[in-house]
Chain A
Amino acid sequence: MSGAVISAAALADPVLAVELAYWQQTTLKVVLTLIVVPTATAIVVTVFLFKMMAGMQSRMGPMDAGPYGLIQLGADGLKFLQKELLSPVSADKGVYALAPVVSLVATFMVFVVIPVGPNGFGSNLRTGIFYALAVSSLSVVGVLMAGWSSANKYALIGGIRAGGQLIAYELPLVLAVIGVVIQAGSLNLQDIVVAQHSGEIFGWGGIGNPYFITQFVGFVLFMISIQAELTQPPFDMPVAESEVVGGWQVEYSGFQFLYFYIAEFGAAFGFAAIASTLFLGGWAVPFVALDAGIMHILGPLVLFGKTMLVAFFIFWVRFSYPRFREDQLQQFAWKYLIPLSLVNILATGILKVVF
């Protein structure tokens, strides 16, 4: 769904044969992005957090608000909006108020570069994946700001944990992506999609080359790293309620908390979309030409399906495993993931040259 709306702006040109001025396109894209991120968050939270989690624990989840409790999130959102905004007396007021906004903006900016169709993208940056990863790590600035300005020891510990965790897992994340970039020969996400569609697996080009086959190690590393980047269990020490109460979120209430909430699950959707673009072939489908007219409509839906599949895995892992210990988390990243990703880059480079 989210993909469909993003691409509508770009679709207007080839499909509806409507010429839009630059400012009209830009306005449309901005409005659509503003719609897409909350919608994506709502879908992720309702489908996975409410219903799938309930199913995995043999519960029903929310059932009273709307059919099968599907508009429960609307009720929750209203509740957040009605709540009083509290801030601690000794908090650094300006930074405290700015932190949720920084986190949310970082999430919005990731969505801009994800291609959803032959012409569907917010912006076709040549350094697309580099931009996406750089911008997504901006949210840690918001988290550190929240942790530091709250004037609360739990918030501070949580913020420092989040900083340490995101630095540790940013490395395997980026290094895992480098394998894909070497194979595709481009940083542009659209080019990576095209390269996967027209690629060959050791000379066999039957279904193109979705990189989760040839870059399987990279795919696994990427999935583990985004689990940590999104602070989802088993890597949720920064917000561990039994250790640091709520971590950096502890002092926030009302819609400031809602901002963090949207940022967290919107980012989950964004990262799932990036993962499906990098490793599952993005919006492209095997056997269908990339420039076929139908792809303008089908592309966003395909990407949405793949994204939901990846998100399903993220939340499946989330609901299955208990939390790591803080030192185990760091050791896991520095001792295992980073060396493994370096070896992966080396092997990819050698194979790229040989074949």
Chain B
Amino acid sequence: MPSKPKVPGLVTGLGVTMKTLLTTLKEGSVTVEYPHEKEEPPTRARGVIALKSENCTVCMLCSRSCPDWCIYIEGHKEKAPPRREGGKPRTVAALDRFDIDYALCMYCGICVEVCPFDALFWSPEFEYSEFHIANLLHDETRLNEWMETVPDHLPYEAGSEAKVKKVPR
């Protein structure tokens, strides 16, 4: 038992709940009726990872840095025409397979951070639940489709020297 009952604190507590009740009655609740009404997630929300295949060089950095090993990449070397006339044909890496298993992914975002070629992006989309767990393995086509939902990067704070990168579309 506390030495003395703290009456002012108790009254304050009642006031807080009453104020919330009145605010909710007047302005509506902070929650939304989800299936009928979709909540707008923040721009930087970690919903799903989108892939820009053209930028991927099959360097495997994302796959190797993934704590869950949920990114599967396969690729092969290809000869590409030389950049200048008369030059040697270049060797480029072609992507055969790029899968992310969202049943394993823990949304840490290390792959997005580590990608040096701007091939991976966060998208705030979150509605991709499945009835079968195997369907949570998104293949390259599906990951590419998520690119449409990637929002532009937010501007930096006022007075910043650095320029905001553009999301490749």
Contacts and interface: CB of A to CB of B under 8 A. Distances in A.
Contact of B29 (A58, A320, A321): A58
Contacts of B1: 327-328, 331-332, 335
B37 to A, nearest CB: 10
A93 B18 CA distance: 45
For chain A, which range describes its interface: under 10, 10 to 19, 20 to 34, or 35 or more residues?
A: 20 to 34
Contact of B21 (A55, A64, A331): A55
B86 to A, nearest CB: 71
B137 to A, nearest CB: 33
A55 B24 contact: yes
B11 to A, nearest CB: 10
Nearest to B35: A64
A63 B29 CA distance: 12
B133 interface: no
A321 B5 CA distance: 13
A57 interface: yes
A58 B17 contact: no
Interface string B16-56: 11101101110001110100000000000000000000000
Contacts of A335: 1
B14 interface: yes
Contacts of B81: none
A54 B20 CA distance: 10
Nearest to A335: B1
A321 B11 CA distance: 10
A57 B14 contact: no
A54 B29 contact: yes
Given A321-B10, A328-B1, A332-B1, A58 B20 contact: yes
A60 B29 contact: yes
A60 B21 contact: no
A320 B14 contact: yes
Given A328-B1, A331-B1, A316 B24 contact: no
A59 B20 CA distance: 10
B151 interface: no
For chain B, which range describes its interface: under 10, 10 to 19, 20 to 34, or 35 or more residues?
A: 10 to 19
Contacts, number: 46
B13 interface: yes
B25 A58 contact: no
A63 B33 contact: yes
Interface string A231-247: 00000000000000000
Given A317-B14, A328-B1, A60 B31 contact: yes
A332 B10 CA distance: 15
Given A320-B13, A328-B1, A331-B1, A55 B30 contact: no
A326 to B, nearest CB: 12
Nearest to A313: B14
Contacts of B33: 60, 63-64
Contacts of B24: 54-56, 58-59
Interface string A313-348: 000110111000001100110011000000000000
A278 interface: no
Given A55-B25, A328-B1, A332-B1, A320 B30 contact: no
Nearest to B11: A320
Contacts of A57: 20
A223 interface: no
Contacts of A331: 1
A58 B23 contact: yes
A316 B20 contact: no
A32 interface: no
19 contacts: A52-B21, A54-B24, A54-B29, A55-B24, A56-B18, A57-B20, A58-B29, A58-B31, A59-B29, A59-B30, A59-B31, A64-B33, A316-B17, A316-B18, A317-B14, A319-B17, A320-B17, A321-B10, A327-B1
